[in-house]
Amino acid sequence: MKRNIIVNLHVVNNAQWFESVILYLKSAYKIVPLSAFENLGNSKNLCAITFDDGDLTFFDIAFPLLKKHNVPAAIFVSPQSIAQRENFWFQEVADYDLDKFAEIVAQETKIPYQVAKDAGIHAVLKSLPIEKIHHLVKEYQSATNTPPKEFRNMDLEKIAEVQRSGLISIGAHTLTHPILANETAEKCEHEIVNSVTDLEKLLGQAVRYFAYPNGAFGLDFGRREMDILQKAGIKIALSTDPNFVNRKADKLSLPRKGITYGNIRHIKMKILLGKKWNLLRNLRKPSEAKRRGIVKKNLLFVPS
């Protein structure tokens, strides 16, 4: 008997790969809707499949295969991104030039050029509140004549089609994808509560599930965020901590195993090893959490 897992994906670029993942998970687990994790009881061998961000590739590649194999899944989306056709910040910066970016960061923040360069674009931005992130992205765009990218998430029509299938649960993922731990209490509450209520209006049904942006407990969110979600009526909130789900796990911080790429052997190992896999991967270069720590120290530094 295998332990229960929730797996997590974002972008799915390859249909053949994704179909092999479905077939593997189907052969090794009982694939269930996320609702099965609300009351686990003594169930074993369950697997729920989740996708964060509402990327277009979910609609174009993953969704048809989920329907073909009659496999349930959950997606976590932002009602603001859907209604206003707005990309998330990390979708904009994906191919930005690090040298230029570090220059702009050094001009606009307390983070020195070399620190920003060593940390990398994502580690710098994940250390900042969302308003600062959006400001830096705009500064980069105007300094380099880089236009915002074409909208790359599902729009209203596509979300409606996904909802009509009855196969996919739709949960909230904040409004603008901030790292919630970097925000004030007020902003944090707004990002969570409004993503739930706005999504409910958009779907015309209650929203029971939520996924934390980035999703590491203690780094990206904590007790404060879990309390807000509880008050907002959320039944399950998902982290990205790569553990198995046991019966006693806190429903407002259920772990998930990321399976973004790699062949089935690689995915099996990743599921089995969890945190140990990340430790092995980080042997060669400092983890993003470590690089974010260095950036944050610089932000706190006040010259005497």
* Dist CA 124 CA 104 (whole Å): 12
Q: Are 245 and 255 in contact (CB under 8 A)?
A: yes
Shortest Å distance, C-beta 53 to Zn ion: 4
Residue 55 near Zn ion by CB under 5 A: no
Least distance from Zn ion to the Cβ atom of residue 240, Å: 9
Between the CA atoms of 289, 295, 298 and 300, what dihedral angle is there, to the nearest 10 degrees?
Answer: -60
Give whichever of 77 and 104 is closer to Zn ion, judged by the CB atom. 77
Q: Using CA of residue 81, residue 213, residue 256, residue 293, what is the dihedral sign?
A: positive
Considering CB under 5 A, how many residues would be counted as binding Zn ion? 3
- Taking the least distance from each CB to Zn ion, the nearer of 78 and 109 is 78
**d(Cα 37, Cα 303) in Å, to the nearest integer?**
50
To the nearest 10°, report the CA torsion of 10, 241, 222, 254. 90
Residue closer to Zn ion by CB (options 22, 180) is: 180
When the beta carbons of 53 and 189 are compared against Zn ion, the nearer one is 53
Report the nearest approach of Zn ion to the CB of residue 126 (Å): 12
Q: Least distance from C-beta 213 to Zn ion, angstroms? A: 5
**Is 220 near Zn ion (CB under 5 A)?**
no
Closer CB to Zn ion, 10 or 190, in the complex: 10
Question: Measured between alpha carbons, how far is 297 from 234 in angstroms, rounded to an integer?
Answer: 34
DSSP classification of residue 97 = -
Torsion of CA 123, 129, 135, 139, to 10 degrees: -20
**Contact pick of 53, 55, 92, 191 for Zn ion (by CB under 5 A):** 53
CB nearest Zn ion: which residue? 52
Minimum CB separation from Zn ion for residue 174, in Å? 8
Q: Which of residues 165-204 bind Zn ion (CB under 5 A)?
A: none
For residue 130, give the DSSP letter: H
Ranges within 5-34 binding Zn ion (CB under 5 A):
none
Residue 77 Cβ, how far from Zn ion at the closest point, in Å? 9
- For the stretch 188-196, contacts whose Cβ atoms lie closer than 8 Å and that sit 24 or more positions apart, written own/partner, are 188/224, 188/225, 188/228, 189/228, 191/130, 192/225, 192/228, 192/229, 192/232, 193/228, 193/232, 195/78, 195/79, 195/80, 196/172, 196/232, 196/233, 196/234
- According to the binding rule CB under 5 A, does residue 52 interact with Zn ion? yes
Tokens coding 99: 């040298």
**Part in contact with Zn ion (CB under 5 A); list of ranges 48-56, 94-102, 160-168, 185-193:** 48-56
Q: Which stretch binds Zn ion (CB under 5 A): 120-128, 209-217, 274-282, 295-303?
A: 209-217
> Smaller CB distance to Zn ion: residue 4 or 91?
91
Q: What is the binding site for Zn ion (CB under 5 A)?
A: 52-53, 213
